[in-house]
């Protein structure tokens, strides 16, 4: 299991547990993610992967344990929650773009209303990131006029506009048609190359092999295995991991 690696830790989870009613979604999870590290989390559905990363920016409230992001302790203090959210960007399975705002407005809303940046500067920033995800020409359109892949890339740009230190991806390609998965993964690989700290929940094992520094396999709310991609794919230690990999890699 991953252990603390000194002062370089960007995210540190210690004994984090979370219940939904009587169902224990997270069971005493320890995890450390260093600055610039790319972590890919996989596991069967209902294993607590999404819950885990949603706890990191307080979309879910953990009930015991300790979460520290960039030295800020996650507690009930709304100031701390806001500070952490300002450093952590998130991309959702269902994109969750704001349908009533144009692509550009989607990207400028956070910088303008949360950071207090002026409109002109926010738009300049937004165009910069829209170029990084290769769709500056769509800036004036509404989300409903874009394809799924384009929408997800806008969602990535929207998060980047807040200049986060960490990016969380919650199954970013699961809701996409097969022919659109690649354009999103390409953007994510480019982002990984810039040295961004990333945690991705995904089943795209090709992507994982390319970018991951660390692979994590979760089952029943616990981290079953954490290893480098080389070890993880060629020499998994746990039976559950082996079973999962055989199912997911069989085709």
Partner 1 sequence: MAAPSRKKRRIHALDIIVLAAVITLVGYIAYRVDSVLVYKWDWSAIPSYLFRWDEKTGTLVPNLLIKGLVTTIRIAIWAMVVASILGVILGIARTSERLFPRLVSWAYVEFIRNIPPVPFLFLFYFFISSQIIPLLGIDEFIHSASPGTLTVAEFLFGPANLMTNFVSGMISLSMMSAAYIAEIVRAGIQAVPKGQREAGQTVGLSHFAVMRYVILPQAVERVVPPLAGQFITLIKDSSLVALISIQELSFLAMEIAISEQRFFEVWIFTGIMYFVVCYACALAFGRLERRMGAYRR
Partner 2 sequence: MSAVDATTDGLAAPKRLKRRVAWWKSAWFDVVQFVLLSGLLIWITWRGAASMDYRWQWYRLPRYFYRVIDGELIWGPLINGLFVTLEIAAWGMVLTLIIGLITAILRLSESVGGRVLAKVYLESIRNTPLLVQVSIFYFVLQPILGINNPLWTGILCLAFFEGSFASEIIRAGINSVHRGQWEASTSIGLSKTKTYLYVILPQAIPLMLPPMTGTLINLIKHSAILSFVAVFELTTEARNMIGDTFMSFEVWFVVGPMYLVLTISLSTLVGWLERRVRRHR
The residues binding partner 2 (CB under 8 A) are: 15, 17, 19, 22, 27-28, 63-66, 76
Q: 76 touches which of partner 2, partner 1, none (CB within 5 to 8 A by kind)? A: partner 2
Q: How far is the CB of 180 from partner 1 (least distance, A)?
A: 19
Q: How far is the CB of 168 from partner 1 (least distance, A)?
A: 8
Report the distance separating Cα 34 and Cα 69, nearest Å.
10
C-beta closer to partner 2: residue 23 or 144 = 23
Residues whose CB is less than 8 angstroms from the CB of residue 141 and which lie 6 or more positions away in sequence, other chains included = 102, 103
Q: 100 touches which of partner 1, partner 2, none (CB within 5 to 8 A by kind)? A: partner 1
C-beta closer to partner 1: residue 71 or 99 = 99
Q: How far is the CB of 54 from partner 1 (least distance, A)?
A: 8
Report the distance separating Cα 53 and Cα 187, nearest Å.
20
- Contacting residue, 27, 86, 175, 245, with partner 1 by CB under 8 A: 86
C-beta closer to partner 1: residue 90 or 188 = 90
Report in angstroms the alpha-carbon separations of 26 from 30, 68, 86: 10, 17, 24
**Is residue 56 packed enough to be buried (19+ CB in 10 Å), middle (13-18) or exposed (0-12)?**
buried
Chain-centroid distance of CA 176 in Å reads 16
Establish if 113 lies at the interface with partner 1 (CB under 8 A). yes
User: Cβ distance 61 to 25 under 8 Å?
Assistant: no
Q: 4 touches which of partner 1, partner 2, none (CB within 5 to 8 A by kind)? A: none
Establish if 142 lies at the interface with partner 1 (CB under 8 A). yes
Q: 17 touches which of partner 2, partner 1, none (CB within 5 to 8 A by kind)? A: partner 2
User: Cβ distance 73 to 11 under 8 Å?
Assistant: no
| 166-170/88-91 β-pairing | parallel
């Amino acid at each position: 299991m991953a252990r603390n690696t000194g002062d370089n830790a960007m995210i540190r989870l210690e004994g984090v547990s979370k219940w939904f009613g009587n169902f224990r979604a997270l069971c005493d999870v320890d995890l450390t993610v260093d600055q610039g590290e790319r972590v890919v989390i996989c596991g069967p559905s209902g294993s607590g992967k999404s819950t885990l990363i949603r706890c990191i920016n307080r979309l879910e409230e953990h009930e015991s344990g300790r979460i520290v992001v960039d030295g800020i302790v996650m507690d009930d203090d709304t100031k701390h929650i806001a500070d952490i959210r300002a450093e952590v960007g998130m991309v959702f399975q269902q994109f969750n773009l704001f349908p009533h705002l144009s692509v550009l407005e989607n990207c400028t809303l956070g910088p303008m209303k949360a950071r207090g940046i002026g409109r002109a500067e926010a738009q300049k920033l937004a165009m910069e990131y829209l170029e990084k995800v290769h769709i500056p020409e769509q800036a004036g359109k509404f989300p409903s006029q874009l394809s799924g892949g384009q929408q997800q890339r806008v969602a990535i740009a929207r998060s980047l506009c807040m200049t986060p230190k960490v990016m969380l991806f919650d199954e970013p390609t699961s809701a996409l048609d097969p022919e659109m998965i690649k354009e999103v993964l390409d953007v994510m690989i480019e982002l990984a190359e810039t040295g961004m700290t990333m945690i991705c929940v995904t089943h795209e094992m090709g992507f994982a092999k390319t970018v991951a520094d660390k692979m994590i396999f979760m089952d029943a709310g616990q981290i079953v295995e954490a290893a480098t991609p080389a070890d993880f794919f060629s020499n998994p230690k746990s039976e559950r991991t082996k079973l999962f990999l055989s199912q997911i890699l069989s085709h």
